[in-house]
Amino acid sequence: MSGSSEFPGSSLRTPRRRVAGLGAAHSGTHHFWLQRVTALANVPLTLAFLAVLICVAGESPERVLATIGHPVVAIILILAIISITTHMRAGMQVVIEDYVHGEGAKVLSLVANTFFCAAMGCAGVFAILKISFGG
Amino acid sequence: MSDMQGAARRPLSPHLQIYRPMLTMMMSIVHRITGVALYFGTFLLIVWLVAAASSDDAFATVNAVYGSWIGLIGLFGFSWALLHHMLGGLRHFIWDMGHGFGPQARELMAKLTIGGSVVLTVLLWIVIYAVKG
């Protein structure tokens, strides 16, 4: 770990690679950072989502739609869905990379993960917009 | 050449079955399991929203399924997974800040994660039934 600084010639990594700071996966800390930023956003957003669900539980369909469609509620729910589905994709990607070893199956799983999360996100956001705009 | 003798004789690094199960290890595994469960649980949430946006009939059907006793058990599990994963995530934030790596601290946080998630889930459903009867 400290080898490269104490013995500059002992590292196999070239100076250019060290400056780029992208590591063995060539993507740096982007994935880690995305997971943590969405995790942080998820804490208040999912708690707010939970509060909305408790408020509308057991109410008439009209009351439920009116509550979900309220601009402030709709905006919070849409933010929550975007953050949650992004976090889902990042988390499942790690699980797939850990357990699916065949190259073909791994690539297919990663693409399926992206498709699923994109579909969930799009469907959720569209549903809220339709309710909010009075469809 | 064809039977890859060199590769087959290399020792493998120790895996799960070598280690005595520990609480911190279990919480790490449960964090991942709850994450995967929430991944598919989100599908149920999106189905509910799309049904609400589609028609009264579709919404009534989904509400009937989710409100049945088996649906409520599922929602109870969903809420526990959510709270456990959230507490586990907060634990990771503490580690990200560079704290809580000591034996006592990490053991305490593991106990708070499992204990807290169970207590909060029960409290959540008490509140739901208190508010909604």
Helix, strand, or coil (residue B123): helix
Report whether CATH 1.20.1300.10 matches the domain A27-132: yes
Burial class (CB in 10 A: 0-12, 13-18, 19+), A54: middle
CB A42 within 8 A of CB A91: no
Number of other CB atoms surrounding residue A4 within 10 Å: 14
Q: State pLDDT tens for residues A109-124.
A: 999 999 999 999 999 9
Find how far residue B89's CA is from the centre of its chain: 10
Residue spans per domain, chain A: 27-132
Q: State pLDDT tens for residues B22-47.
A: 899 999 999 999 999 999 999 999 99
B72 touches chain A (CB under 8 A): no
Tell whether the torsion through CA atoms of B129, B34, A92 and B100 is positive or negative. positive
From chain B, the residues in CB contact with A40 under 8 A are: 93
Say which of A57, A64, A68 has its CB closest to residue B128. A57
- A40: Cβ contacts below 8 Å, ≥ 6 apart: B93
Domains of chain B: 21-132 (1.20.1300.10)
DSSP state of B102: S
The CA-CA-CA angle for residues B121, A117, B50, to 5°, reads 75
Inspect the interface and report whether the beta carbons of A124 and B45 lie closer than 8 Å: yes
From chain B, the residues in CB contact with A128 under 8 A are: 49, 53
User: What is the ipTM score, two decimals?
Assistant: 0.87
Token output for A115: 């498709």
Q: State pLDDT tens for residues A20-57.
A: 777 777 777 889 999 999 999 999 999 999 999 999 98
CB A106 within 8 A of CB A100: yes
